[in-house]
Amino acid sequence: MRVLSSVRWSDLRPDDFLERQRACPIVYMPIGLCEPHGHVAALGLDTLKADYYCEEAAGRFGGIVAPTQGYHIHECGFHKPWLDEVVGDTNPLLAGMPPQVVCYHFLYQLRAYANAGFHAVIVVSGHAGGSQKDLRRVAKAFTKSTGIPVVVKTDPEWGGYEGDHAGAYEISQLQAIHPEAVDLSLLERMNDEGSGGRLALGLDAAEASPAKGQQINETIIAAIGAVAENLKEGTLIKEPINYQQAEEIWSKILAQGEWWSMGLK
Ligand SMILES: [Zn+2]
């Protein structure tokens, strides 16, 4: 059973929500997805770390954590040949979506935050590789229309370390957060059938350690805290944004042309 949290939108009663929001009107949005990170690690590594960073940041610096977005952009752009290479014929057990679906949904997530009275948004993406630029494009358009600042960064973009995919960086992060989600005795485990070798495991995964993960994680949380400090004022909208107004923002985004960093296919 999941333990209820004192910083989660979903877990707070209205009075407690408003009290937390009055003290710090920032909302954190964790976004990740399920994709293979070798046989050694839980599929939701990207989601689990985004949740952790947001919950820790809200707990330490104030603010509220929005419902987690557990689907992310995949199977398009360079991700497609990457999947063919590192997963091959094996089922990737993927929770991916095309960019236009994630971005459209993201715009409406931002609308929900503004209408709920938040003054600023911090988005922490556990999934990197370029699709964050699509989210930033939506964020920029939203800020232009509403004045509400939205910061979107993947975990390595918070600074200090170069990210990887299921290598010493990511496996360490998860070891420090959820040790039970990593089993390094499976490092040499190959796929039973089909191709895909070690299921997208990074070459240096054997060098992962909880201590390394702890250092990386603390650097990221401190960086989020510094941004949160600067965003506390933000902007409070005067009237709720209705669906039609959100659609107008979406039209402006689409009018920017073929900007999807991953392509649409
Ligand atoms: Zn990952």
If you measure from the C-alpha of residue 127 to the centroid of ligand 1, how many angstroms do you get, rounded to a whole number?
A: 6
If you measure from the C-alpha of residue 256 to the centroid of ligand 1, how many angstroms do you get, rounded to a whole number?
A: 30
Phi-psi region of 93 (alpha: psi -120 to 50; beta: other; left: phi over 0): left
Model pLDDT for residues 229-264, shown as the tens digit of each residue = 999 889 999 999 999 999 999 999 999 876 666 555
Q: In the prediction, which pLDDT does 86 show?
A: 87
Domains of the chain as residue ranges with CATH: 9-161+219-248 (3.40.50.10310)
CB 162 within 8 A of CB 156: yes
If you measure from the C-alpha of residue 137 to the centroid of ligand 1, how many angstroms do you get, rounded to a whole number?
A: 22
Percent of the chain topping pLDDT 90: 80
Q: In the prediction, which pLDDT does 265 show?
A: 45
Q: Could you tell me the pTM of the whole model?
A: 0.95
If you measure from the C-alpha of residue 248 to the centroid of ligand 1, how many angstroms do you get, rounded to a whole number?
A: 34
Nearest residue to 180 via CA among 67, 48, 68, 53: 48
CB 102 within 8 A of CB 250: no
If you measure from the C-alpha of residue 75 to the centroid of ligand 1, how many angstroms do you get, rounded to a whole number?
A: 14
